[in-house]
Amino acid sequence: MKTFKNIFLQYDWERIKQKINSVTGSDIERVLNKGKKTPEDFLILLAPAAAPYLEQMAQISQNLTQKRFGKVIQLYAPMYLSNECQNICTYCGFSLDNKIRRRTLSNTEIIIEAMALKAMGINHVLLVSGEANKTVGIDYFLNAVNLLRPYFANISVEVQPLSTDEYKALHAAGVHSVLVYQETYHQEVYKEYHPKGKKSNFDFRLDTPDRIGEAGLHKIGLGVLLGLEDWRVDSFFNALHIDYLQKNYWQTKFSVSFPRLRPAEGIIEPNFIMSDRDLLQLICAYRIWNEDIEISVSTRENENFRDHIISLGVTTMSAASKTNPGGYVVDPQSLEQFETSDERSMDEVRSIIRNAGYDPVMKDWDKVF
């Protein structure tokens, strides 16, 4: 079966890096003034040479986003179900080698957390867990979705890579979208970041979006962990991946997220520091390249950045997030996967969005039965 791996193998990391660093100002101007963009155009917009054009890029990004999505920001919150994990990942607080108290929510605890989120007005929930197949496998997830379906209009998941049949089961149970991050597309160093566990299998993770697409999920979310390797090269490969998926699973929607490495128990320091201006450039580059893609910014980012990015390309934001299992009510002291930066309440975030002239949306569709 043909997968993205067939495309991926045609590109070389160092050659892409050289192309990015050789971009000139005239290349930037040519891309900004052309019509339909390609992944190669996206590469040009990532280049250091694009920095002087950031204000122009931001204006274009704003116009394209308003044309396609209107002045709307969709809000959601994550619900962490478990911090148990069978992988060793050098950047994650849930890593198997971290000696922490592990916790997996029971049925009652899941419902208690759901009620706390509903009290905030949340109708979109993202279910997150560590990667522990025996403890939190497909049966656990299906049970959680069935418990939560009466509470939320939209349920998404960010869990370990699953089989096509397992994704089909989640789809049938009512899951709207699946988020999966390659973390880094630098295959040669991927194993150094993931020395043990199923996640160390680069190819299996790389093929995961294909399996999600085959299962017919409504939306697939992709991204890279910004800080592991050169963010420009990693982001080019991520866009290349999205381009392939859009062509092969054209009935599916796609989103991109921008997780920057944040402090967490036992993690490494970022190999590459990404400034706020860099992240703004990346967001604008995605929007200018792809008018249809949904762009999500989480509470990893600070209040100031999130406030200013509202009008510049973002379509989705998390708010009032807790990144530990039971973090809202059941067990606020359990270990976080990472520290959040924007700790404002849902009401505060909604107010900020309204003051920016945008509409904070908690639910934007109903399934017809």
Residues 164-173 pLDDT 10s: 999 999 999 9
Calculate mean pLDDT across residues 202-214.
97
Angle of CA points 100, 344, 128, to nearest 5°: 40
As a whole number, mean pLDDT of residues 154-164 equals 96
**Do 93 and 266 form a contact (C-beta atoms < 8 A)?**
yes
* The model's pTM: 0.93
Q: Which residue has the higher pLDDT, 2 or 334?
A: 2
pLDDT confidence bin for 92, thresholds 50/70/90: confident
Band the pLDDT of 42: cuts 50, 70, 90.
Answer: very high
Q: What is the mean pLDDT of residues 116-140?
A: 93
Instruction: Say whether pLDDT at 204 is over 80.
Output: yes
User: Cα(89)–Cα(110) distance, rounded to whole angstroms?
Assistant: 26
Cβ atoms 360, 353 nearer than 8 A = yes
pLDDT band at 190 (very low <50, low <70, confident <90, very high): very high
Report the range out of 74-88, 97-111, 166-180, 193-207 with the highest average pLDDT. 166-180
Q: Minimum mean pLDDT among 16-30, 41-55, 355-369: which range?
A: 355-369
Mean predicted confidence (pLDDT) in 277-300 = 96
Q: In this predicted structure, what is the pLDDT of residue 11?
A: 97
Residue-wise DSSP of 163-199:
-HHHHHHHHHHTEEEEE---B---HHHHHHH--BSGG
Which tens digit of pLDDT belongs to each residue from 316-362? 999 998 988 999 999 776 555 556 678 899 999 999 999 999 999 98
Q: What's the confidence (pLDDT) of residue 95?
A: 73
**Rounded distance between C-alpha atoms, residue 81 and residue 102, angstroms:** 11
Q: Is the pLDDT of residue 368 over 50?
A: no
Is the model's pLDDT at 130 over the cut of 50? yes
| pLDDT class of 218 with cuts at 50, 70, 90 | very high
User: So what's the pLDDT on residue 62?
Assistant: 98
User: Using an 8 Å Cβ cutoff, are 48 and 70 in contact?
Assistant: no
CA–CA distances in Å: residue 110 to residues 83, 144, 173, 275, 338: 14, 7, 17, 37, 21
Query: What was the pLDDT predicted at 28?
Result: 98
What is the model's pLDDT at position 94?
A: 79
What are the residues facing 77 on neighbouring strands? 125
pLDDT at 128 (0 to 100): 96
Nearest to residue 105, comparing CAs of 141, 133, 77, 138? 141
Judged against a pLDDT cut of 50, whether residue 307 lies above it is answered with yes
Check whether 56 has a pLDDT greater than 70.
yes
- pLDDT at position 133 is 85
What is the model's pLDDT at position 306?
95
Residue 366 tokens, joined: 């109903």
For the cut 50, the answer to whether the pLDDT of residue 251 exceeds it is yes
Residue bearing the bigger pLDDT, 297 or 266: 297
pLDDT band of residue 2 (cuts 50, 70, 90) is confident
